[in-house]
Structure 1
Amino acid sequence: MSSANSGILSRIPGLAYVGLVLTPLFWAGNAVVARGTVEHVPPLSMSFWRWVIALAILLPFGFPGMWHHRRVIRARLGSMLALATFSVAAFNSLLYYAAITTTATNIALINATIPIFVALLAWMLLGDRTRPIQALGIALAIGGILTVVARGELSVLTGLQAQPGDLIMVAAVFSWGLFSVLLRRQAVPLPALTFLTTQILLGTLVILPFYLVDLFFFAGGFELTRNTAMSLLYFAIFPGILAYAFWNHGVHAIGPARAAIFMYLTPVFASILAGIFLGESLGAFHMIGGLLILAGLVLATRTGRRQAAYSLRSQEQNGRDT
């Protein structure tokens, strides 16, 4: 976004709030559309072609910055490759694999705990101080995740009968947490658009060999119909590029702490959209797990402002796609 456009938008504060409402709506739509499309398009195909399309759209705008900052990119190539692997490649591919065996509502609820995983991993790997009330928030959110994964039945956990998709989604959130912590340790001095374009390019290259193996030896290809094409375009444009732009502007306009509140809308939107388009219904365990997750998020992000603000800046720079 140019400085001129940014200056114009900053004079209309309401646009920031509109964008911050649309962002979780697009992230929720990502889970719902993935759940509805995964029977027709293999997960790795969804992930690969989503990023190819997004890259084709962004490259004309991002390439000049990549060329201008090519020495920085070359010097930090190893770090940027690791960052792209955990975020663009692993997070999104795992999310689409999760959609095979779990609901869009579960995906969104588990995905909402990203700030919790960032704070937890920052404490474990970076030695960040965790206050008692923040630890309580983390514990509540983890309890909410276990409630959702167990579908409210303890025997699911003790008998190791959890849905594979729920566990895969936990792995996806863990991957994003590792990305956020790694970004903090090895920050790359690049403009946001340059960083995003480079990350998508590197992440697409990481996915490519796995996609080719999956294409030729496992899942095979897919039929390009109007519906599958529209799904891929949605993945690339709405939860990817537009959500990134809206989130970026919103965080700059009202600050990361206030913008964080809008993240809580993602599971709400997902449950509504999943009910309308997929016929998913909410169970008591969704309500209980969702309340525990919400309470944990409020406690953890209010008392761990540095970690929360860092997580939000990470999402602003890379553009999260749930």
Structure 2
Amino acid sequence: MIRGALLIALAALLWATTGIVAKFLFTGTELQAVTLGFLRLVVALPFFFTLMRREQQALARSSAPLPKLTRKALVPLVALGFFQAVYQGSYLLAVDMTGAGIATLIALCLAPVLVAIMAAPLLGEKPGLVTVLALAAAIAGTAMLVVSDMDSAGRLRLGGILVAVLAAFVYAGFTLTSRHTSTGTPVFTTAFICFSTAALILLPAVAAIGGFKGLHTLGIGQWLMVAYIGIVPTCLGYVSFFSGMKTTPATLSSIIVTLEPLFVALLAWMILGEELGVIGIAGALILTAAVIVASRSSAGNRADTA
């Protein structure tokens, strides 16, 4: 189990580098957030296609029946792709409009708490008092981060903060959809269809906003950064996460994943010079604690209804 936990922690660290590298790209080029989200998926797709093929071959060798991709099975996968597309665009846009640290803390820490609350009307998972208190703490932590960002930036970057909140709601929708649907589709087949759908959705969006025009400002170094985001945090990060999930309990996994926004905040401070300040650090800790409590409470609710 220790190896699995370390693999999940590694995945969180790799994912955390996405916002840092993206901030460098947005600062030094005219690359738009939606365009980067699309390019990230395009780079990752061949890798996930290869993993999908290997997964299907392994199932064939084991004589296990290959799940059929019926319309009933494809609909939720396409829905996941839609959520993935909107999340890619909104999260990276939030990073561009604010900072890597605050955007990630809001988008990723607020999402699990929203899942715990929204699971009540959508999935019949009744939230307890602890979950409600976790939501209140998450809102308080987010407010403290906003105050801290105002102090460091000298102004209220409301647009970027609202986009980060949107990313949190979208990520919550992605989580709830994946939890609600159990199609039996293998992991990497699901990932490939989801990412393919997201790329197809983002393509016309990038074209509509003229997002490809900024590509001429990318030098070799910037293209390597794009490739890094598509390969390391996306491909290697997800493989590390899924490998770790095989031997790690779901509740522990959800808690370890909360390291990602903390990793981002630390890297943003070390590399980008983004400072949260005392209020921001307190808000980040409150948000993280709220996520852990909400994750444990949500897992307990699912166990009780199973």
Superposition CA RMSD, Å: 2.7
Task: Indicate the residue corresponding to 2:260 in structure 1.
Answer: 266
Instruction: Identify the residue that residue 316 of structure 1 maps to in structure 2.
Output: none
> How far apart, CA to CA, are the structure 2 residues paired with 1:226 and 1:173?
33
Where structure 2 has 5 or more consecutive residues not aligned to the other structure, the ranges are: 61-65
Q: Deviations over 1:214-261 (max 9, x none)?
A: 226x96434332222122122112221111111112222121122223
Correspondence 1:95 to 2:91: yes
Residue among 150, 154, 161 paired with 1:166: 161
1:16 maps to a residue whose letter is G
Amino acid in the other structure paired with 1:178: G
Residue 34 (structure 1) aligned with residue 22 (structure 2): yes
Aligned residue-pair number: 290
CA deviation after TM superposition for structure 1 residue 65, in Å: 6.1
The partner residue of 1:201 within 196, 200, 203 is: 196
Contact 2:91/2:163 (8 A) holds in 1: yes
How much has 1:78 moved relative to structure 2? 3.0
Q: 1:272 to 1:185 in 2, by over 3 A?
A: closer
**TM-score normalized by structure 2?**
0.85
Shift of 1:294: 2.1
Aligned residue among 156, 175, 181 for 2:176 = 181
Name the CA shift for 1:286/1:29 in 2 (closer, same or farther; >3 Å).
same
Relative to structure 1, is the Cα distance of residues 308 and 235 closer, same or farther in structure 2, using a 3 angstrom cutoff? farther
Which whole-Å deviations, capped at 9, do the CAs of 1:74-120 have from their partners, x for residues lacking one?
44333322221012x01111111111211111022112232112112
Q: 1:28 is aligned with what amino acid?
A: A
- SS in structure 1 of the partner of residue 189 of structure 2: helix
Quick check: 1:37–1:231 contact (8 Å CA) kept in 2?
yes
- Work out whether 1:132 is the aligned partner of 2:129: yes
1:168-247 matches, within 5 Å, as 168-215=163-210, 220-247=214-241
Q: CA deviation at 1:72?
A: 1.6
- Give SS of 1:151's match: helix
Q: Shift in Å at residue 66 of structure 1?
A: 7.6
**Residues 188-231 of structure 1 deviation map (CA, whole Å, 9 limit, x = unaligned):** 22000111011111111111110111226x96434332222122
2:274 maps to what in 1?
280
**Counterpart residue identity of residue 77, structure 1:** L
Distance 1:294-1:220 versus aligned 2 partners, 3 A rule = closer
Q: Distance in 2 between matches of 1:137 and 1:294?
A: 10
For residue 240 of structure 2, what is the amino acid of its counterpart?
F
Q: Decide which of 7, 12, 24 is 1:24's aligned counterpart.
A: 12
Of residues 143, 146, 150, the one that matches 1:146 is 143
**Unpaired segments ≥5 residues, structure 1:** 1-12, 155-159, 310-322
Aligned partner of 2:251 among 250, 257, 260: 257
Contact 1:112 1:266 in 2 (8 A): no
Map 1:60-79 → 2, pairs under 5 A:
60-63=50-53, 71-79=68-76
Relative to 1, partners in 2 of residues 1:42 and 1:153: Cα closer, same or farther, differing over 3 Å?
closer
Q: Counterpart amino acid of 1:225? A: G
Q: Deviations over 1:111-158 (max 9, x none)?
A: 22321121122124333211111211121112111221243879xxxx
